[in-house]
Amino acid sequence: MTAQTTIQANKEVINSQTDAVKKSLETFSSINGSVAEMAKITQTLSTSLARVMESRSAFIETIEGVSATSEETAASVDDVTNMTDRQNDAIADINKLAEHLNVLSETLNTTLDKFTI
C-alpha cells in the first residue's frame, strides 16, 4: 500500500466518521428538543393536576356547605356545576397533553432505537 493510498483511505475514514458525528449531533439535538417539549408538557400537566386538586377541594367544601340553607344550596349547585365544568376541562386538557406526551415518547423511542449500545 502506498502512502497516497493510505492517506486517501484515512481521509475516507475521517469523512465517514465526521458524517457519523454530524448525524449523531442532529439526533441528539432532536432528542434535546423532544426532552424540552416533554418538560413543558410535564409542567403543564403539573399545573393542570393542581387545578384538578383545587377544584376537587373546592367541590368538597361546596358539598359540605349545601345543607346550610335552601338559598345556599341553590348557589352551591351553581358552584358545583362551574367546578365540574372546570374539572372536565382540566381532565380534557390532561388527556390531550397525555396523548401528545405519548406521541413524543414514541418519537423519542424511535430516535433512541437508532443507537446501538
Q: What would the grid cell of residue 28 be?
A: 441528539
Residue 55 covered by a domain = yes
Domain count, the chain: 1
Residue 1 covered by a domain = no
Residue 53 covered by a domain = yes
Residue 3 covered by a domain = no
Q: CA 99, CA 20: separation in Å to the nearest integer? A: 33
Contact 59, 84 (CB under 8 A): yes
Model-level pTM greater than 0.75? no
Residue 81 covered by a domain = yes
Contact 80, 58 (CB under 8 A): no
Percent of the chain with pLDDT over 70: 89
Residue 28 covered by a domain = no
* 115 has pLDDT over 80: no
CA atoms within 13 A on the CB side of 68: 13
User: Looking at this protein, which amino acid is placed at residue 102?
Assistant: N
Question: Model confidence at 1, in pLDDT bands (50, 70, 90)?
Answer: low
Residue 16 covered by a domain = no
* pLDDT tens digits, one per residue of 12-53: 888 889 988 999 899 888 888 888 888 898 898 888 888 888
Range of 87's domain?
A: 35-112
Neighbours of 3 (CB within 10 A): 7
Residue 12 covered by a domain = no
